[in-house]
Amino acid sequence: MLGTLLEALLLGLLEGLTEFLPVSSTGHILLAGYFLGFESAGKTFEVLIQLGAILAIVTVYFSRFWQVLVTLPSSPRSRSFVLGILIAFLPAAVIGGLAHGFIKSVLFESPALICIMLILGGIVLLWVDTLSFKPRYTDAMAFPPSLAFRIGLVQCLAMVPGVSRSGSTIVGGLLMGASKPAAAEFSFFLALPTMAGAFTYDLYKNRSLLTLDDGLIIGVGFVAAFITAVIVVKGLIAFVSRHGLTPFGWWRILVGGVGLIALALVG
């Protein structure tokens, strides 16, 4: 049991460090779990510890969320922001619900696919960083509904582990005219309903599989994910603004390449 708890701690730290980076937290956790021999009932651990990252977003942006909440009845800007987030969340809610079984039973069990998607996503990030953008949207709270919906469609690509939810939404936002800080911030905001929805649906679907021991393991991963995610969220927008996406692109290629070599060696 101690060994399992230590693995849960490691995977929770990994979740918090990578959830909001464009490197695919799910891909990293699934690969690490595969090579560690970590098993969770119905692959619930990998989804449920995301609650820690959700609470990290709420903690860091609490004042912003509270302001939106209290001004919702009177502020067109607040209503527009909430509507944009809900519109962006809609594609993932529909497609994720319909494809949940396939995602968990097939895509989550394909480490070679994860490695390939990490590499391809890294190449995309390197390419995007060579482009010269003239942003038309610099305020994440003022994205028009059409832009929010298109970003939501792009987010659905991240249902394939290794693609990255934050990576797809940030890159999608950039290609559609958002500035780097605004694209990254909107990705944070969109994470809240997306990850909360995934958490709730997965918990409901797998509630009969979970035991008290599973609860303890998930709790350890949750706490580790929360602490590290708070640190990452506070620094990511400034990092992306200064350094772009290239460091993450090379990291993805490195992890995907090492993963493929390891799979070839150990099977």
pLDDT tens for 42-52 read 678 878 888 88
pLDDT tens for 80-130 read 999 999 999 999 999 998 998 899 888 988 999 999 999 999 999 999 999
Average pLDDT value for residue range 21-35: 90
Ramachandran sector of residue 101 (left: φ over 0; alpha: ψ -120 to 50; beta: rest): alpha
Residue 64: its pLDDT value, please? 86
CA distance 161 to 46: 11
Q: What's the pTM?
A: 0.88
CA distance 254 to 238: 24
pLDDT-based confidence at residue 41 (cuts at 50, 70, 90): low
Residue 3: its pLDDT value, please? 64
Average pLDDT value for residue range 72-86: 93
| Position 7 pLDDT exceeds 80 | yes
CA distance 212 to 208: 12
pLDDT-based confidence at residue 201 (cuts at 50, 70, 90): confident
Residue 42: its pLDDT value, please? 64
| Position 245 pLDDT exceeds 70 | yes
| Position 206 pLDDT exceeds 90 | no
CA distance 215 to 212: 5
| Position 1 pLDDT exceeds 70 | no
- Look up residue 189 and give its two tokens: 């905001």
- Look up residue 89 and give its two tokens: 């969340």
- Between residues 249 and 20, which one has the greater pLDDT? 249
CA distance 246 to 95: 30
Task: Point out the least confidently predicted range of 97-111, 178-192, 203-217, 247-261.
Answer: 203-217
Residue 146: its pLDDT value, please? 96
* Cβ-based burial of 2 (10 A; exposed 0-12, middle 13-18, buried ≥19): exposed
pLDDT tens for 14-26 read 988 898 889 998 8
Residue 54: its pLDDT value, please? 82
- Between residues 103 and 243, which one has the greater pLDDT? 103
DSSP 49: T
| Cα distances (Å, whole numbers) of residue 176 to 69, 117, 193, 195 | 28, 22, 22, 23
CA distance 217 to 205: 19
pLDDT-based confidence at residue 36 (cuts at 50, 70, 90): confident
